[in-house]
Amino acid sequence: MNAKISIIHEDTCLLAVNKPAGLIVHRSKIANDETDFLLDRIKEQCGSNLYLAHRLDRATSGVLLLAKSREVAGEIGRAFMAREVTKKYLAVVRGWPDAEGTIDYPLSGVREHGPRKPALTRWRTLATTTVPVEMGRYPEQRYALVEASPETGRYRQIRKHFHHVSHHIVGDTSHGRGDHNRLWRIHFQLQRMLLHAWRIEFAHPRSGERFRLQAPLDAAWQRVLERFDWAGALNC
């Protein structure tokens, strides 16, 4: 039996869940062979019809908004398109980025060779660490906990942007570094990508008031925070 999806918030028009890493959100042409989808699970769990307001990658965990009507889903979707929704992600990346910065680099969609569109991601570094494991020409490896705030919503934007600046996200098997992913699997038993949709803030579609939701981190993330004494960095 599949585990229940954790519900973060529910009201008369909205449902917010904490999406697990590794679970596809909905059926699509690129998921023909899959049989387990978050949308199907949560509909069965809640016993009602629900509509996606936005999406997260399969490998990404965190806050996912669903609407209880097509109209509300459309309103929230338009807010995303108008950049009226604030999104904050947590990621562990290779190397030590600057204290803060912006990645302004156009990206294609699902088709890698399709037309590129403007894409902007801001980040700030919350904490850093050094792992005393020799690899290549380096006697030790550097990693950082970062908060990433995408201002646009391109396909795999954060993953591609940190790849572009050579601060690859740990555990990313598509845009990351295989040698660093192996290091984390061997030394830290990490079996997932360390990218989490942490916080989201938007105008509630009925009250109009600013509304903020936060998704708790899963066990794998908690082990990382404990291992590197990073928990306090999330309070800053």
Give catalytic residue positions. Answer: 57
- Both tokens assigned to 157: 């934007």
